[in-house]
Amino acid sequence: MDHRPDQSGTRLLKFTSCMADNTLPVMAEIAAYAERKLELPTEFIDQIPWQQREQRFDQGEIQVCWICGVPYVQKADQPNPQIELLAAPVMRGDRYQNRPIYFSDVVVRRDRPFQQFTDLRGARWAYNEPRSHSGYILTRYHLAMLEERSGFFGSVVESGAHQISLQQILSGDVDASAIDSTVLEHALREDSSLQRQIRVIDTLGPSPSPPWLVSTTVPAALRTRLRSLLVQMADDPEGEEILARGGLARFVLVGDRDYDPIRHMQQIAAAVSLSGSEA
């Protein structure tokens, strides 16, 4: 565990994201912003796979982590959790209603015949990974609401990432996937031609926004300063510019009960299999 202090005795504060790659640039900027504003050393960790980043966060070797709501509730529901909520992002765009929420957009290739979710019966489906709320849990919850318990899709593959699911849709390897709305919006900003190649046939959600967490190995006073820094970023011109570049409007305070919808959906989703035999 890295305890290198700065000149004031404060240890190095490490930040990371276990979200999709589109979150990495803005979190790196926020880590640097925190270093300037709080006058303490920070480091952004993105050189290792996200699974290792999460493991190091769990071990207290990384102190601040942006993570999906599903692993958050798993950690929070452990005896004597070693994490706290810092804040949650509010994304830019009317669909987010100035609230800490996001969606799952059900995406198909534009030339495919599907018009709504129920048209996907027997189709080839991709999901990013099984601890993803937007890509996996929410799809199973939606199927439960449709009273579809098993075998709805013809085949199911785990792609490893939302971006890979999108590539598989474009290549024709799969028919559809549920994509984190913030990932899809970032992809559309990066590649304007993508809009002509895909369609969104349904939207699932809203769901609570993936939170920022802090390890309780960080002193309580510093956790409070970090929390205040995030929620006040939008009021600072420099902070607001950083948020805007990342597609964020602001950060807001959230509590554990704000993630009860994740717990509820996960419990119901547990009874649903995406297909009779998932690949």
Q: Decide: helix, strand or coil at residue 29.
A: helix
Which of 97, 91, 106 shows the shortest CA–CA distance to 146?
Answer: 106
pLDDT of residue 276: 53
For residues 143 and 174, state if they share a domain. yes
For 199, other C-beta atoms within 10 Å of its C-beta total 17
Q: Is residue 214 classed exposed, middle or buried when 0-12, 13-18 and 19+ CB atoms within 10 A define those classes? A: buried
For residues 107 and 70, state if they share a domain. no
List alpha helices for 39-101, DSSP H. Answer: 50-58, 69-76
Q: How confident is the model at residue 275 (pLDDT cuts 50, 70, 90)?
A: low
In sequence order, the β-bridge partners of residue 36 are none
Q: Kindly tell me the sign of the dihedral angle through the C-alpha atoms of 201, 115, 128, 145.
A: positive
pLDDT of residue 71: 96
How large is the average pLDDT for residues 110-116? 97
List alpha helices for 122-203, DSSP H. Answer: 138-145, 162-171, 181-190
Helix 24-38 / helix 237-245 crossing angle, nearest 10 deg: 160
How large is the average pLDDT for residues 29-56? 96
Residue 96 covered by a domain: no
| CATH number, residue 167 | 3.40.190.10
For residues 151 and 195, state if they share a domain. yes
Residue 279 has pLDDT above 70, yes or no: no
- Calpha distance 27→6 (Å, rounded): 21
Q: How confident is the model at residue 5 (pLDDT cuts 50, 70, 90)?
A: very low
Phi, psi torsion values for 66, nearest 5 degrees? -95, 125
For residues 194 and 120, state if they share a domain. yes
Show the CA angle centred on residue 164, arms to residues 158 and 168, nearest 5°. Answer: 85
For residues 219 and 203, state if they share a domain. no
Length of the chain: 279
pLDDT of residue 97: 97
Peptide bond into 219 cis (omega under 30): no
Residue 115 covered by a domain: yes
For residues 124 and 172, state if they share a domain. yes
Show the CA angle centred on residue 170, arms to residues 167 and 174, nearest 5°. Answer: 85
For residues 203 and 73, state if they share a domain. no
**C-alpha atoms less than 13 angstroms from C-alpha of 217 in its C-beta half-sphere:** 18
Residue 18 covered by a domain: yes
Which of 262, 268, 271, 269 shows the shortest CA–CA distance to 77?
Answer: 262
Write out the two tokens for 148. 């579809």
For residues 201 and 217, state if they share a domain. no
For residues 84 and 145, state if they share a domain. no
Q: Which residues, 6+ apart, have CB-to-CB distance to 241 below 8 Å?
A: none
Residue 161 covered by a domain: yes
pLDDT of residue 274: 83
Q: pLDDT tens digits for 49-64?
A: 999 999 999 999 999 9
In sequence order, the β-bridge partners of residue 43 are 14
Residue 158 is part of which domain span? 101-207+265-269
- Contact 215/60 with Cβ under 8 angstroms? yes
Which is higher by pLDDT, 215 or 11?
215
The whole model's pTM is what?
A: 0.91
For residues 163 and 186, state if they share a domain. yes
Q: pLDDT tens digits for 179-222?
A: 999 999 999 999 989 999 999 999 999 999 999 999 999 999 99
Q: How confident is the model at residue 134 (pLDDT cuts 50, 70, 90)?
A: very high
Reported as type and span, the H/E element at residue 206 is: strand 198-208
Residue 258 covered by a domain: no
For residues 85 and 164, state if they share a domain. no
Domain count, the chain: 2
